[in-house]
Amino acid sequence: MLTDKLTNRFEKKQAKSVKKEFTIIVADRNHHVREFLHRELASEGYIVRSAENYRQILRLAFYPDAISLLVLDPNLPDSDESETLEKLERLGGRIPIIIHTFQSDYNERRNILPGAAFVEKNGNSIEKLKHVIEEIAREKFQNLPY
């Protein structure tokens, strides 16, 4: 019993240390949403960076720190969206992307980033988002415990 508790605590510590190596870019046009996602994901132990437009995403994506994941609401205020999306699509081969937007917007632009996962944006979508991020992180770091 004590062994199990110790093992569990060890695994959690290990997971936390792994998450510290997992850097996520959160991109959303609403800064309160960005801050909320930042707070929630940071509390989970991830390193989180925020981007309010495509230009910032690209700047962060080529940051010296290795970027592990992009959580993106494509409805960003940049005017050169299509060009940036092309760059992101190329980036998507290297970095996993989660589209976090409204269902109706996603329905209109399902093929925007073909390889990306989708999480519908709503009041409690953070739970689903955390779950999907954890799945992706686990795939990246095979030894990440549940």
Write out the residues near another protein by the rule CB under 8 A: 28-30, 32-33, 36, 40, 75, 102-104, 107-108, 110, 121-126
Which one, 64 or 123, has the nearer CB to another protein? 123
Specify the residue, 20 or 110, whose C-beta has the smaller distance to another protein: 110
Closest distance between another protein and the C-beta of residue 115, in Å? 18
Smaller CB separation from another protein, 95 or 116: 116
Nearest to 47 by CA among 32, 65, 29: 65
Distance, in Å, from the CA atom of 119 to the CA atom of 26, rounded to the nearest integer, reads 13
Rounded to a whole number of angstroms, the minimum distance from the CB of residue 6 to another protein is 29
Do residues 44 and 69 lie in contact, with contact meaning Cβ atoms separated by under 8 Å?
A: no
The 10 Å CB-count burial string (b at 16+, else e) for 65-102 is eebbbbbbbbebebeebeebbeebeebbeebbbbbbbe
> Is 41:20 a contact under the CB 8 Å cutoff?
no
Output the smallest distance, CB 39 to another protein, in A. 8
Of the two residues 35 and 83, which places its CB atom closer to another protein in the complex? 35
CA atoms within 13 A on the CB side of 128: 13
Q: How far is the CB of 127 from another protein (least distance, A)?
A: 8
